Amino acid sequence: MQQERLLQHRILPVVTILFIIVAVWYVAAVFMNTPFQRDLDRRGNVTSTPMDFIERTLSQPKPVLPAPHQVASNVFENTFLRRVTSNRSLVYHSWVTLSSTAVGFTLGTLLGILIAVGIVHVKALDRSLMPWIIASQTVPILAIAPMVIVVLAAVNVTGLIPKALISTYLSFFPVAVGMVKGLRSPELIQLDLMCTYHASAAQTFWKLRVPASIPFLFTSMKVAIAASLVGAIVGELPTGAVAGIGSKLLAGSYYSQTIDIWAALIAGSVLAAILVTIVGVVAKIVDLAMGGRPA
């Protein structure tokens, strides 16, 4: 019964959408690769049945839009059939991106929490800091990323740290905003209660504000970890980085290796899904440990 519901309510809708996407993708691939294939055939004086023609549009080495099975086999090959230390392995590139994502996310979360605590407790910070924080996120990250990389490279900071800092830049924001809301979420009655006990500000903070903010923290961490991944990938683009999903994307576009680009995109999406899921699972565990009602 339970499994039947899971199948009907969770798996079936997702699979249906996946099926539709793949179908649309195939149709689009045929259409987009047709002009080049027609050109090729005319020059080679090849005449063929429509079925043969469609098959050839889906098996070009550098297609405009690679077919799903081409991307899938590229992902499979580069994930499972190569040594993880190989320069072609998606696991290797994902690991490089993941490590700077993780460092950036950790720094960003800590920074975000710190800023939120400051804003909630210091009136002057509340008035002065918030506009700057919001302004910081209106600057396009693509404009900032190269400057950060170049400036830091000039002072001999290269490799993981500059990329992680770009992740930090993107991920502190949702955490700061979420935590300001979370730390202010206790109701007046709960604050009054603390007042009747003559609780100190520190006691009110640790025993009321912090626990009350935990659900807000996890919600914003889900957004922050996805933003961190984007930051790390963007950080890999302008460096001419030798490794990472970003560098794989860049190399693919230099050499028109469209299949590689799409494979790298898939790797990035899978990584994002895994990271968000991990945060979600931790959130669930913490929620249950804090007396949350099981869903």
Task: For other proteins, give the closer residue by CB, 124 or 189.
Answer: 189
Task: For other proteins, give the closer residue by CB, 85 or 196.
Answer: 196
CB of 204 to other proteins, least distance (A): 9
Q: How many CA atoms lie within 13 A of 173 on its CB side?
A: 19
Task: For other proteins, give the closer residue by CB, 242 or 288.
Answer: 288
Distance (Å, rounded) from C-alpha 213 to C-alpha 163?
A: 29
CB of 289 to other proteins, least distance (A): 9
CB of 218 to other proteins, least distance (A): 13
CB of 25 to other proteins, least distance (A): 46
Task: For other proteins, give the closer residue by CB, 161 or 199.
Answer: 199
Q: Contact residues for other proteins (CB under 8 A)? A: 187, 189-190, 192-199, 203, 207-208, 211-212, 214, 290-291, 293
CB of 291 to other proteins, least distance (A): 4
Task: For other proteins, give the closer residue by CB, 161 or 214.
Answer: 214
Task: For other proteins, give the closer residue by CB, 125 or 199.
Answer: 199
Instruction: Estimate the share of the chain in helix, then strand, then coil, as percent rounded to the nearest 5.
Output: 80, 0, 20
Residue 32 CB neighbour total at 10 angstroms? 14
CB of 208 to other proteins, least distance (A): 7
Residue 158 CB neighbour total at 10 angstroms? 14
Q: Following DSSP, what letter does each residue of 80-105 receive, concatenated?
A: HSS-TTSTT-HHHHHHHHHHHHHHHH
Q: 3-state secondary structure string, 197-266?
A: CCCCHHHHHHHHHHHHHHHHHHHHHHHHHHHHHHHHHHHHCCCCCCCCHHHHHHHHHHCCCHHHHHHHHH
